[in-house]
Amino acid sequence: MDATEVRKVSQEALDQLAAALEQGKRETLKRYLAVMGRFTHYSLGNQMLIALQKPEATRVAGYRAWQRLGRRVRRGERAIRILAPIVRRSKEEDDEETLLAFRSVCVFDISSTDGEP
């Protein structure tokens, strides 16, 4: 899944949420808000992507991040796709970053891993 497809899925999730709210289905909103409360450091779009793909997720990180934490992603586990920024740092002393684009990256929930608690 590339970044364009991930954006499309994110937009579909927002559209589904809006449609559910228009129909008075508050449970859908409660489910999204619960996910948003667990992933406050992620953007709204990525929160929606996590909620859509794995609503029961509690902690997510990339494959290598789990390895650094002493955990291992189990074989056959399905990744959660989110968008990560691609930035370019200036070579000058001010260390300014310029956003170039977004790319699709894989993260895994802690329930998809084994290892150190």
Q: What would the two tokens of residue 54 be?
A: 């794995």
Higher pLDDT, 107 or 44: 107
Query: Could you give the 3-state DSSP secondary structure of residue 13?
Result: helix
pLDDT at residue 110 is higher than 80: yes
Residue with tokens 């796709």: 81
Segment 80-98 shows an average pLDDT of 83
pLDDT tens track for 31-87: 878 888 888 899 888 988 898 899 899 999 999 999 999 999 999 999 999 999 988
Number of domains present in the structure of the chain: 1
| Location of structure tokens 């954006």 | 7
The pLDDT of residue 2 = 67
The 8-class DSSP code of residue 41 comes to T
Residue at token pair 């996590």: 50
Q: What is the DSSP string of 74-102?
A: PTTPPPEEEEEEEEEE-SSTT--EEEEEE
